[in-house]
């Protein structure tokens, strides 16, 4: 039995840190285990310009407790008014690592996102020219499209046309939830040095849509893109644990207070920063793939983003007895519930 595993310190290639009191409460949960994270820009108002990203980065670094080391990798929120030159300058100065595409209305704070994709063509062309990756929230928002089909339809109607029209554009399909998305990634380009990668969350490896809806509605399992059928969860498990470099960890850890989750119109998001690494060890061990955990969490992401791997390490240990994971973390705005996998977990970060 493997009871200890040391890996290169992981990174989180998709994270929501929010701002203010919430930022101060959740940042240590990530910084404890992760060297870097791609920081989502869906604040209110969103982080659209280089100046806004610089100010947000300063607030994150100011919120980092003494003695913790963590590097926020900033993103810009793509709008129809985004200036390609502002994006290029933010990239050239080393400030931003990616630009985030939200279709307008797709998820939390996405009202300023894109409706007419032709309007962002100049930005996408500039990004292809300078090698700046586009992170996509891959769901269409057309009310006629069933919510469980929105990711697959996005690939056909939006993503594939954008990629064909913009050769060289580097794209990360974020938080993929379907076999369709995993298949699309594998069908395009090469394993090494290609233009297309995908992040997978911890929770989408663990829950399917039954977890949300069977035996009473479970708002803490509601996130976007919403979890799909079991066959899709299994396809995600296969992709994540395969060792294929195009798939890497992006937790999409998204804190909302219990008051905002447990409501008649509850917010989307699972908060997994606290227990992600322990849960991943469980998942990879269950699939006989512990030797691929380091690639998924610590190596494939830096390779895609053309960044060095972290120098530090992280050790996971397995105990006979289940480990205690806090049910929630306290914030001045109210408690934030930590994702409950629904099974006992024996792994913990040493």
Among 82, 107, 136, 202, binds ligand DOR (CB under 6 A): 107
CB 273 within 8 Å of CB 29: yes
Q: 166 to 225, contacts with ligand DOR by CB under 6 A?
A: 223-224
Half-sphere exposure of 134 (CA within 13 A, CB side): 29
The tokens describing 80, both together, are 């129809």
Separation between Cα atoms, residue 329 and residue 349, nearest integer Å: 18
Q: Which does 136 bind (CB under 5 to 8 A by kind): ligand DOR, Zn ion, none?
A: none
Q: Which does 199 bind (CB under 5 to 8 A by kind): Zn ion, ligand DOR, none?
A: none
The tokens describing 345, both together, are 């977990």
Residue closer to Zn ion (CB basis): 96 or 289: 96
When asked if residue 195 is in the footprint of Zn ion (CB under 5 A), the reply is no
Residue closer to ligand DOR (CB basis): 268 or 317: 268
Q: How many residues bind Zn ion (CB under 5 A)?
A: 1
Half-sphere exposure of 91 (CA within 13 A, CB side): 21
Residue closer to Zn ion (CB basis): 195 or 252: 252
Q: Minimum distance between the CB of residue 100 and Zn ion, rounded to whole angstroms?
A: 9
Give the active site residues.
Answer: 252
For the chain, the farthest-separated pair of C-alpha atoms sits apart, in whole angstroms, at: 56
CB 284 within 8 Å of CB 293: yes
Residue closer to ligand DOR (CB basis): 139 or 294: 139
When asked if residue 71 is in the footprint of ligand DOR (CB under 6 A), the reply is no
Q: Which does 223 bind (CB under 5 to 8 A by kind): ligand DOR, Zn ion, none?
A: ligand DOR
Separation between Cα atoms, residue 83 and residue 122, nearest integer Å: 9
Neighbours of 209 (CB within 10 A): 17
When asked if residue 75 is in the footprint of ligand DOR (CB under 6 A), the reply is no
CB 272 within 8 Å of CB 206: no
When asked if residue 112 is in the footprint of ligand DOR (CB under 6 A), the reply is no
When asked if residue 158 is in the footprint of ligand DOR (CB under 6 A), the reply is no
Among 12, 195, 244, 252, binds Zn ion (CB under 5 A): 252
Residue closer to Zn ion (CB basis): 252 or 294: 252
Q: 217 to 236, contacts with ligand DOR by CB under 6 A?
A: 223-224
Q: Which does 107 bind (CB under 5 to 8 A by kind): ligand DOR, Zn ion, none?
A: ligand DOR
Cis peptide before 45 (omega within 30 of 0): yes
Separation between Cα atoms, residue 318 and residue 345, nearest integer Å: 9
CB 95 within 8 Å of CB 87: no
Separation between Cα atoms, residue 216 and residue 209, nearest integer Å: 12
- x-marked contacts with ligand DOR along 250-279 as a string, rule CB under 6 A: --x-x-------------xx----------
In degrees and rounded to multiples of 5, residue 83 shows phi and psi of -95, 120
Residue closer to Zn ion (CB basis): 8 or 251: 251
Neighbours of 331 (CB within 10 A): 18
Closest Cα to residue 172, out of 34, 300, 33?
Answer: 300
Q: Minimum distance between the CB of residue 91 and ligand DOR, rounded to whole angstroms?
A: 23
When asked if residue 16 is in the footprint of ligand DOR (CB under 6 A), the reply is yes
Residues lying near ligand DOR in the complex (CB under 6 A)? 16, 42, 107-108, 137, 223-224, 252, 254, 268-269
Residues lying near Zn ion in the complex (CB under 5 A)? 252
């Amino acid at each position: 039995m493997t009871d200890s595993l040391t890996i290169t310190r992981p990174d989180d290639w998709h994270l929501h840190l929010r701002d203010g009191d919430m930022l101060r409460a959740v940042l240590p949960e990530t910084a404890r285990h992760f060297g870097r994270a791609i920081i989502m820009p869906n604040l209110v108002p969103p982080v659209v310009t280089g100046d806004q990203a610089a100010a947000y980065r300063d607030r994150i670094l100011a919120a980092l407790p003494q003695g913790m080391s963590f590097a926020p990798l900033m993103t810009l929120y793509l709008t129809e008014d985004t200036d390609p030159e502002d994006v290029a300058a933010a990239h050239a100065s080393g400030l931003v690592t990616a630009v985030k595409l939200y279709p307008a209305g797709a998820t939390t704070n996405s009202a300023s996102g894109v409706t007419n994709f032709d309007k962002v063509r100049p930005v996408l062309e500039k990004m292809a020219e300078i090698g700046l990756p586009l992170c996509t929230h891959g769901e269409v928002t057309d009310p006629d499209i069933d919510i469980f089909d929105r990711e697959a339809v996005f690939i056909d109607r939006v993503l594939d046309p954008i990629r064909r029209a913009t050769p060289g554009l580097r794209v990360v399909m974020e938080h993929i939830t379907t076999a369709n998305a995993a298949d699309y990634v594998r069908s395009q380009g090469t394993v090494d040095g290609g233009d297309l990668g995908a992040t997978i969350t911890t929770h989408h490896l663990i829950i399917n849509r039954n977890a949300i809806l069977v035996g009473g509605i479970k708002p803490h399992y509601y996130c976007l893109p919403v979890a799909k059928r079991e066959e899709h969860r299994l396809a995600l498990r296969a992709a994540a644990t395969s060792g294929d470099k195009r798939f890497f960890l992006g937790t999409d850890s998204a804190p909302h207070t219990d008051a905002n989750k447990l409501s008649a119109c509850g917010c989307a998001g699972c908060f997994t920063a606290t227990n992600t690494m322990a849960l991943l060890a469980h998942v990879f061990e269950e699939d006989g793939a512990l030797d691929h955990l380091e690639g998924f969490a610590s190596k494939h992401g830096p390779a895609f983003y053309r960044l060095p791997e972290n120098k530090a390490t992280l050790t996971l240990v397995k105990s006979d007895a289940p480990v205690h994971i806090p049910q929630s973390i306290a914030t001045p705005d109210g408690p934030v519930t930590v994702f409950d996998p629904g099974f006992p977990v024996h792994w913990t970060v040493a």
